[in-house]
Amino acid sequence: MITYFYWITVIAMALGIVYLIGYKNEEWKMALIAAAVVMVIGFAAYYFHFQQVFVKRYGGVMSISVPDDEVHLAATWKDDNLWIENYNPETNTCHFREYSRGNLLQGQVTIKNCNPLLRQHIPDTNR
Three-state SS string across 4-70, please? HHHHHHHHHHHHHHHHHHHHHCCCHHHHHHHHHHHHHHHHHHHHHHHHHHHHHHHCCCCCCCCCCCC
Task: Please give the single-letter amino acid code of residue 64.
Answer: I
For all residues of the chain together, what is the average pLDDT? 84
Per-residue pLDDT band at 90 (split at 50, 70, 90): confident
Where would I find the beta strands (DSSP E) of 63-113?
Answer: 71-78, 81-88, 93-99, 108-112
Q: Is the pLDDT of residue 66 over 80?
A: yes
Please report the pLDDT score of residue 38 as a whole number.
96
* pLDDT level of residue 11 (50, 70, 90 thresholds): very high
For the entire predicted model, the pTM comes to 0.63
Amino acid at 92: N
Q: Which carries the bigger pLDDT value, residue 105 or residue 91?
A: 91
